[in-house]
Amino acid sequence: MGHTMGRGLYGMRPLDVMDPVDAEKIHVNSLHLLETMGIKVVSAEGLRLLKEAGAEVDEKAKIAKIPSYLVADAVSKCRRPVRLCARNPKNDMVLDGEHCHICTDGTGLSTIDLETGVRRDSTKKDVADSARVVDYLEMMNIYYPIVTPLDVPKHSHTLHEFDATFNNCEKHITSGATYMKEEAQYELKMAAAVAGGWDELKRRPLVSALTCTTSPMVLGMTTDAAIEFVRAGCPPMMMTMPLIGATSPMTVAGAILVGNAQVLALTTVCQLAAPGSPVCYSTEPMAMDIQSGLFEGLFPAANMVRAAHVQMARYYKIPIFVGGWGSCSKLPDAQAAYEKALSAFTYYLAGADITSGPGLLENWTVLSYEQLLIDYEMYTIMLDMLKGIEVNDDTMALDVIMNVGHEGHFLGKKHTLDHFKTMWQPMITDGQTYHSWKAAGSKSAADNARAKAKEILKTHEVTPLPDDVKKEFAAIIKEGEQKIPH
């Protein structure tokens, strides 16, 4: 099956953070939790689907005890590979378990202004500008609105995000701020307008949505949004977000178990709502900073839960979207680099289909255009390494080595020139000598990233949406602002 440029092949064996026997234990105990303790289902439609399928339901408490056979049947219906399509078909992708992809992270509330460097409230223009930067970056696959615009009506902000994104980015879009059924319905109307109708949207899902479960053991109001998306043929990314030591046990294994059980429950609801529809496992746990009591997303325990959930998704043969290789740092610095690089590379080595993270600081709350480009640079390095090493007669170059002989060099050889174009190329990384660097202004990586972001925003153009689609967007947004509860 074909794939677009810029995706790394998993040439290496995936990293297992648990023994396969332990993955089986997590699965068995997840089934035990769902069948004996049950899960609270806030969604009336979700509860109805489970009850009609044979789950034992306490209507008053909204607790559904889900038989193991229902879960097994649901998992068996999950399709792989999953296609995620884009406004421009050249940006379509396939989640086949052999390639890795990247998505921005989202729902930040503040932006470090690209011109002034001052932190301010995020705007719809920030959504548009960051979407345009992502459209420019060849190996970026998915745009998740990085910030929530605070200059539009709060209850309909996701519609304004879709408007800004579709007009400025020709890649797949995922929404992480879709909580209500009504929000999902209007978002999907916008996607159908771009796709050319509901049937075309189902054939080519241009959008997906992160739909979160609630720890411990609750399917919350986002379940209704997941049902809307799955019935439209647009994959829900079924996310678990355990807070280790607060909404899950303090142990990594306990957090893995609670999160996995919740994802299996939502998988069951989605497959009952639309059998055989594409879905994705998703995870974004957080760990407690025992010194402050605050929760941080990139501490080792949270990273291990994510990696284990990747292993569980591979166990079920379901694609996985790993949320959040963010940073606790407040600015693009060494802390942001080591938190992001160590976490992201761990998830990819574990076999994640998609990770999100580029662009946000301070636990996914603050957009930095500089950090967006630094993160992208780190991803391209990871991507180059994740291809593994191809060993054959051409790459070993035995004849070339013998031809060059002792004390020779390979510069100018045809073999060198043929392979030169396959080498990783930096976009913002500085490789100059000290004297050249100093003469050029002693610029940091953040300085280079800031200049590149400004250049992209000044020069990159996106194919505009047709005028009739823009008019339909305006009508959908107007209706949504009136009818979405607030």
What share of the chain in percent tops pLDDT 70?
98
Give the mean model confidence (pLDDT) for residues 399-403: 96
Report, at the CATH architecture level, how domain 1-388+426-486 is classified.
Alpha-Beta Barrel (3.20)
Residue 391's pLDDT band (boundaries 50, 70, 90)?
A: very high
From residue 471, how far is each of 156, 159, 182, 190, 467 by CA, in Å?
17, 14, 20, 11, 6
How far is residue 225's CA from residue 10's CA, in Å, rounded to a whole number? 33
Residue-level pLDDT at 132: 98
CA dihedral over 267, 236, 146, 377, signed as positive or negative:
positive
- Listed residue (10, 18, 6, 35) closest to 102, CA to CA: 6
Alpha-carbon Rg for the chain, nearest whole angstrom, is 23
Relative orientation angle of helices 300-316 and 20-32, to the nearest 10 degrees = 80
Extract the tokens encoding 347.
């998830």
Residue 256's pLDDT band (boundaries 50, 70, 90)?
A: very high
- More confident position, 264 or 11: 264
DSSP H or E segment with residue 287 = strand 287-288
pLDDT at 184 exceeding the cut of 80: yes
SS3 (DSSP) at 223: helix
Q: Quick one: DSSP state of residue 234?
A: P
Per-residue pLDDT reduced to its tens digit, 338-377: 999 999 999 999 999 999 989 999 989 999 999 999 999 9
Give the mean model confidence (pLDDT) for residues 36-45: 98
How far is residue 401's CA from residue 385's CA, in Å, rounded to a whole number? 24
pLDDT at 1 exceeding the cut of 80: no
Residue-level pLDDT at 421: 85
- More confident position, 55 or 326: 55
Give the mean model confidence (pLDDT) for residues 246-260: 97
For the chain, give the mean pLDDT: 95
